[in-house]
């Protein structure tokens, strides 16, 4: 007989999360709560992130393994090195638009997206507080690629990326690595392993190793504010 696993529910006035090491094999840790700035920051500080469909309850995850990218490990192919010369990289000039394009480009490809109006509103609030940031790729004045996430301590918690022109999202990722290096940051949390990101230099680590690195990075006093 299969054993049922009870997933803890978060309550609106309680910002405490379960131990991320107690997440299920798939990484599901808890459900419920809200998307307030305080709760989101608390979640990311503990290696937890929201990931749910628009009409489902809020689900909180801490997957194992985890994918991370060290800025100096980014792999720039010859073709990317050539193409990125034609792009302009900007930071935080079109934050909400980047989020919406991450959503729209996935839907246009027939893919599901966890980026809902509630999530856009929540991350825009974090952006106003100077915690959420976007990296944007422009070609001839047009926004053609980008990514967004949170920068806490010395870690950038990456959320999603998009591209409407070849290599545009890769150029944004290179721009992010350059930014993190300049700030004295440590690494980028890519969350779930993908072959695409691994081909660009990201590596898998266990949840326990990730949480230890995250803890150290949050205490990185040498890292400058974004």
Is 225 among the domain residues?
Answer: no
Within this chain, do residues 112 and 18 fall inside the same structural domain, yes or no? no
CATH classification at residue 36? 3.30.70.3550
Is 109 among the domain residues?
Answer: yes
32: phi > 0 → left, psi -120 to 50 → alpha, else beta; which? Answer: left
Within this chain, do residues 17 and 90 fall inside the same structural domain, yes or no? no
Question: Among residues of the chain, what percentage have pLDDT more than 70?
Answer: 98
CATH classification at residue 159? 3.40.630.70
Within this chain, do residues 114 and 37 fall inside the same structural domain, yes or no? no
Overall number of domains in the chain: 2
Is 1 among the domain residues?
Answer: no
> Which tens digit of pLDDT belongs to each residue from 174-198?
999 999 999 999 999 999 999 999 9
Within this chain, do residues 48 and 158 fall inside the same structural domain, yes or no? no
Is 159 among the domain residues?
Answer: yes
Question: Would you state the pLDDT for residue 1?
Answer: 46
118: phi > 0 → left, psi -120 to 50 → alpha, else beta; which? Answer: alpha
Question: Would you state the pLDDT for residue 222?
Answer: 85
* Residue 207 near residue 68, CB atoms below 8 Å: no
Within this chain, do residues 185 and 117 fall inside the same structural domain, yes or no? yes
* Residue 77 near residue 44, CB atoms below 8 Å: no
Is 111 among the domain residues?
Answer: yes
Within this chain, do residues 42 and 76 fall inside the same structural domain, yes or no? no
Within this chain, do residues 50 and 96 fall inside the same structural domain, yes or no? no
Question: Would you state the pLDDT for residue 12?
Answer: 85
Q: What is the mean pLDDT of residues 109-117?
A: 88
User: Mean pLDDT, the chain, as a whole number?
Assistant: 95
Among candidate residues 12, 26, 17, the one with its CA nearest the CA of residue 46? 17
Is 209 among the domain residues?
Answer: yes
Is 2 among the domain residues?
Answer: no
Question: Would you state the pLDDT for residue 5?
Answer: 65
Range in 111-115, 125-129, 138-142 the model is least confident about: 111-115
> Which tens digit of pLDDT belongs to each residue from 49-93?
999 998 899 999 999 999 999 999 999 999 999 999 999 999 999
> Which tens digit of pLDDT belongs to each residue from 59-70?
999 999 999 999
Q: What is the mean pLDDT of residues 3-16?
A: 84
Q: What is the mean pLDDT of residues 167-176?
A: 98
Q: Which domain holds residue 19?
A: 9-63
Token pair belonging to 105: 């480009």
pLDDT over 80 at 4, yes or no: no
Is 224 among the domain residues?
Answer: no
Within this chain, do residues 55 and 72 fall inside the same structural domain, yes or no? no
């Amino acid at each position: 007989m299969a054993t049922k696993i009870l997933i803890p529910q978060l309550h609106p006035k309680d910002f405490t999360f379960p131990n991320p090491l107690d997440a299920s094999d798939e990484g599901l840790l808890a459900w419920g709560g809200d998307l307030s700035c305080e709760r989101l920051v608390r979640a990311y500080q503990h290696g937890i992130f929201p990931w749910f469909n628009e009409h489902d309850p809020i689900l909180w995850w801490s997957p194992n393994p985890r994918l991370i990218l060290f800025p100096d490990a980014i792999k720039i192919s010859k073709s990317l090195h050539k193409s990125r010369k034609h792009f302009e990289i900007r930071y935080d000039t079109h934050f909400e638009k980047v989020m919406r394009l991450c959503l729209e480009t996935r839907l246009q490809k027939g893919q599901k997206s966890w980026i809902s109006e509630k999530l856009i509103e929540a991350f825009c609030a974090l952006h106003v507080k100077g915690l959420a940031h976007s990296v944007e790729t422009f070609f001839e004045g047009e926004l053609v690629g980008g990514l967004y996430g949170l920068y806490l301590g010395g870690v950038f918690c990456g959320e999603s990326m998009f591209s409407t022109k070849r290599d545009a999202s890769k150029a944004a990722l290179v721009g992010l690595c350059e930014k993190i290096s300049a700030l004295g940051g440590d690494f980028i949390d890519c969350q779930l392993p993908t072959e695409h990101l691994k081909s660009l230099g990201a590596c898998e680590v266990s949840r326990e190793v990730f949480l230890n690195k995250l803890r150290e990075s949050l205490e990185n006093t040498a890292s400058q504010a974004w």
